[in-house]
A = this chain, B = another copy of it.
Amino acid sequence: LAADLQPGDAIGFTFFTGYMAMAAASIFFLVERGQVDGKWKTSLLISALITFIAAVHYYYMRDLYLETGQSPTEFRYIDWTLTVPLMCVEFYLLIKPYGGKVSTMWKLIGYSVLMLVTGYIGESLDKENTILWGVISTLGYLGIVYEATIGDVKKVALSSNNPEVANAVRLLRNFVIVGWAIYPIGYMCMEGNLLASTGWNLDLLYNIADAVNKIGFGLVVYSSAMSSTKAAA
């Protein structure tokens, strides 16, 4: 396996760094979990599970990419099917102490399912209509953006009247708007799609986005947990 990585293969590089970063992040979140207040422990465990699940799938994806040179679409979506709903759970755990409702979590998960199922169809099963499926998928994505900026999540932030929540919600929103937006850009770089002519690579963009969103979001939760633990001490 290792022998197949060619000099200058940037995509291969990111599969390796992605794999290792996810594995290291899992250990980090799991071990640091011991240091935070009880109410944050579940959140840190979820962060660790998200990066652990990603590490396992990066292991497969790296393999498939190095052996065949192809985009490991199936594993990508298997990973997202598990990790995106877990990120919705993570959002929910963050707003729950301030009155976040379980129905908000289910809304976010519902939008995610729409986004991922149609994205997979457009990327694997019906490439002829890849743009159409991308548009439908984007509706799911926009649903999540809506909840984070105007809808349920925002309402919790406003009604809580608490600067700590306002901050958490702002960060959360930024991840959804900026970090998650890298994925549709990657998707548009596929052959026959709008950004194909840029020559950018879908896997390169997805790998960068995964690192930002999975590890970055976990780190944000971690630092909220640490400062709230210190404030309570």
Contacts and interface: CB of A to CB of B under 8 A. Distances in A.
Contact of A42 (B32, B52, B124): B32
A13 B45 contact: no
A73 B45 CA distance: 34
A28 to B, nearest CB: 6
Interface stretch (A17-25, A90-98, A144-152, A175-183): A17-25
Given A8-B125, A82-B20, A2 B32 contact: no
B7 A125 contact: yes
- Main SS at interface, chain A: helix
A24 B3 contact: no
Question: Copies per complex?
Answer: 2
A81 interface: yes
A20 B80 CA distance: 12
B41 A35 contact: yes
Given A20-B82, A52-B24, A5 B74 contact: yes
A158 interface: no
B52 A17 contact: no
A128 interface: no
Interface string A208-227: 00000000000000000000
Interface in A1-53: 2-3, 5-9, 13, 16-17, 20-21, 23-24, 27-28, 30-33, 35, 38, 41-42, 45, 48-49, 52-53
25 contacts: A2-B63, A2-B64, A2-B72, A2-B75, A3-B64, A3-B67, A7-B74, A8-B124, A16-B75, A17-B78, A20-B53, A20-B78, A20-B82, A24-B52, A24-B53, A24-B82, A27-B45, A27-B48, A27-B49, A28-B45, A30-B31, A32-B41, A32-B45, A35-B38, A35-B42
